[in-house]
């Protein structure tokens, strides 16, 4: 294995150069105008996989963005089969003016690469491609059977991948799944994530009068959609952080005493969190610590709000429309479809008279807990702790990866969430970046993971 690691180290510069190419493709999945770039990105990934020796590479069209699938099963039936999952699509870039460099002109500064998708998830996908290429180059073949599933719709809730997994369960059959789309606990502290939250993402549209009105002539006699929307939003969550939607907590799995003490011992610091995000006080559901609130408790947030006059100066107007985007992060055993329906019913129930309210379910993801005691987890722990020369922590993360639950329920395969990002790398926000040390060490950890897994019964 050492020759593979040496080869990775010798190839670091080339790996970064190629990563910059991938990061320059604006594969924003939610933007209809970017569809051809998303497709171009799928083909870039497929061509790279072919160029690095993957024998069977396909770009599979869907009703949305393409799926890249590749496999090399030449290790044979006596060796474990690993399904690698990742995504090549990225989040939108706005607000564009807050980027130091344009988001699709990747730049290296302070040993970090800055670009949309750097840490989420192109950099983390590419480090596995680099690892597999080095193994093939130095060893002549791979010690495990590998299937790669790299999609272009993760950031919009994987609407086409979910049915694809169910319909192609035989093709995707594997002993375990590996995903690098999460964060490390802290710099230098490798971690395996064993729980991800789910998501229900909703849009509320409120319509009042048939046109914008003079607020002097009509204000006081006609309900204002922005005020009505604010009333609705205020009824979603109380001042203690509890969500007020009836039945919202019905299926929430409580933390066990043991889990609470494990999470407490991770060494999370509220002061560090406050300093990181620039707030004087934290806010969250009473009775829970921050680390519990972030990974193991559900929550509700407004993501955006629109309405009325927001330009310079003052304009006395009673607007015709207002809109808000609201998302809820879910935990086992909540289900996104059930929570979305409860949200819709509640918003209609609390909507004031005088306005028309419509609620749309935009997308979602089910939460998941993965087993912590599997051969693949053991291989990952060994690989990560050796690579970082530090013990590997087990954490729960607040983000969502929609298809991970399906790997369990449909493929019956345990997933290893072995991420190399850092929480403060600005995923989904301006100046997203990825630490190049973690990019390179991630490749080394991936080589060790695949190697150790080869000699275990997955």
Using omega within 30 degrees of 0 as the cis cutoff, is the peptide bond preceding 95 cis? yes
Answer yes or no whether residue 399 interacts with ligand BES by CB under 6 A. yes
Q: How far is the CB of 16 from ligand BES (least distance, A)?
A: 21
| C-alpha R_g of the chain | 23
Please give the size of the binding site for ligand BES, defined by CB under 6 A: 17
Q: Per-residue string for binding with ligand BES, 152-181, x by CB under 6 A?
A: --xx-x-----------------------x
Smallest Cα–Cα separation from 94: which of 429, 439, 442, 444?
429
Active-site residue identified among 89, 175, 181, 397: 89
- Burial class (CB within 10 angstroms; exposed 0-12, middle 13-18, buried 19+) of 421: buried
Near ligand BES by CB under 6 A, which window of 58-66, 139-147, 398-406, 450-458? 398-406
Other C-beta atoms lying within 10 Å of the C-beta of residue 408: 16
Pick the stretch among 54-62, 252-260, 381-389, 399-407 that binds ligand BES (CB under 6 A): 399-407
Return the number of other C-beta atoms located less than 10 Å from residue 279's C-beta: 10
The verdict on 93 binding ligand BES (CB under 6 A) reads no
Find which of Zn ion, ligand BES, none residue 225 binds, CB within 5 to 8 Å per kind. Answer: none
Give the rounded distance of the alpha carbon of 114 from its chain centre.
18
Contact region for ligand BES (CB under 6 A) — 220-228, 279-287, 376-384, 397-405? 397-405
Which parts of 158-296 are beta strand (E)? 176-179, 191-196, 198-207, 213-214
| 3-class secondary structure, 198 | strand
Between 114 and 194, CB nearer to ligand BES: 194
Binding mask 99-138 for Zn ion (x = CB under 5 A): ---------------------x------------------
Between β-strands 213-214 and 321-330, what pairing exists: parallel, antiparallel or unpaired? unpaired
When asked if residue 199 is in the footprint of ligand BES (CB under 6 A), the reply is: yes
- x/- mask, ligand BES, residues 101-140, rule CB under 6 A, reads -------------------xx-------------------
Q: Pick the catalytic residue from 120, 151, 154, 181.
A: 154
Between 161 and 376, CB nearer to ligand BES: 161
Binding ligand BES by CB under 6 A: which of 81, 227, 374, 400? 400
| Residue 270 annotated in active site | no
Distance CA 418, CA 424 (A): 17
Residue 376's closest CA among 456, 309, 283? 456
Active-site annotation holds for 154: yes
Contacts of 280 (CB under 8 A, 6+ apart): 274
Closest distance to Zn ion from the beta carbon of 201 (Å): 13
Indicate the residue whose CB is closest to ligand BES: 399
Residue-by-residue DSSP string for 18-46: HHHHHHTS--BTT-GGGHHHHHHHHHHHH
* Contact residues for ligand BES, defined by CB under 6 A: 120-121, 154-155, 157, 181-183, 199, 363, 365, 397-402
Chain residues in the site for Zn ion (CB under 5 A): 120
């Amino acid at each position: 294995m050492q020759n593979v690691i040496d080869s990775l180290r010798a190839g670091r510069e080339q790996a970064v150069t190629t990563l910059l190419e991938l990061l320059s493709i604006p594969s924003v999945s939610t933007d209809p105008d970017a569809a051809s770039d998303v497709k171009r990105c799928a083909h870039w990934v497929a061509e790279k996989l072919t160029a690095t020796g993957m024998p069977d590479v396909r770009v599979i069209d869907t009703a949305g963005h393409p799926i890249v699938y590749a496999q090399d099963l030449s290790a044979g039936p006596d060796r474990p089969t690993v399904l690698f999952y990742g995504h090549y699509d990225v989040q939108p870039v706005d607000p564009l003016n807050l980027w130091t460099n344009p988001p699709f002109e990747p730049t290296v500064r302070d040993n970090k690469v800055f670009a949309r998708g750097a840490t989420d998830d192109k950099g983390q996908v590419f480090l596995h491609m680099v690892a597999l290429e080095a193994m093939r180059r130095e060893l002549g073949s791979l010690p495990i059977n590998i299937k790669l599933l790299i999609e272009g719709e993760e950031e919009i809730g994987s609407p086409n991948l979910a049915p694809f997994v169910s319909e192609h369960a035989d093709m995707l059959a594997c002993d375990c799944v590996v995903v690098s789309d999460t964060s490390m606990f802290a710099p230098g502290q490798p971690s395996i994530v064993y729980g991800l939250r789910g998501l229900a993402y909703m849009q509320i549209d409120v319509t009042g009068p048939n046109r914008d009105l003079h607020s002097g002539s009509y204000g006081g006699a006609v309900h204002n959609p922005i005020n009505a929307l604010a009333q609705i939003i205020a009824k979603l969550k109380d001042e203690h952080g509890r969500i007020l939607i009836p039945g919202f907590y019905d299926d929430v799995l409580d933390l066990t005493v043991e889990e609470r003490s494990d999470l407490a011992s991770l060494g999370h610091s509220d002061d560090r969190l406050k300093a990181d995000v620039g707030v004087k006080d934290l806010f969250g559901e009473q009775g829970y610590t921050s680390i519990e609130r972030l990974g193991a408790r559900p929550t509700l947030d407004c993501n955006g709000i629109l309405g009325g006059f927001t330009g310079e100066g003052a304009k006395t107007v009673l607007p015709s429309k207002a809109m808000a985007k609201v998302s809820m992060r879910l935990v086992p055993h909540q289900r996104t479809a059930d929570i979305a329906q409860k949200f819709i019913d509640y918003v209609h129930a609390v909507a004031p008279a005088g306005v028309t309210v419509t609620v749309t379910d935009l997308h979602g993801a089910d939460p998941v807990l993965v087993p912590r005691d599997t051969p693949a987890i053991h291989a990952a722990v060994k690989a990560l702790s050796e690579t970082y020369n530090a013990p590997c922590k087990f954490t729960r993360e607040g983000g969502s990866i929609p298809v991970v639950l399906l790997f369990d329920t449909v493929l019956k395969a345990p997933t290893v969430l072995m991420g190399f990002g850092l929480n403060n790398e600005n995923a989904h926000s301006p100046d997203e970046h990825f630490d190049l040390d973690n990019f390179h060490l991630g490749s080394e950890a991936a080589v060790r993971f695949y190697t150790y897994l080869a000699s275990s019964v997955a």
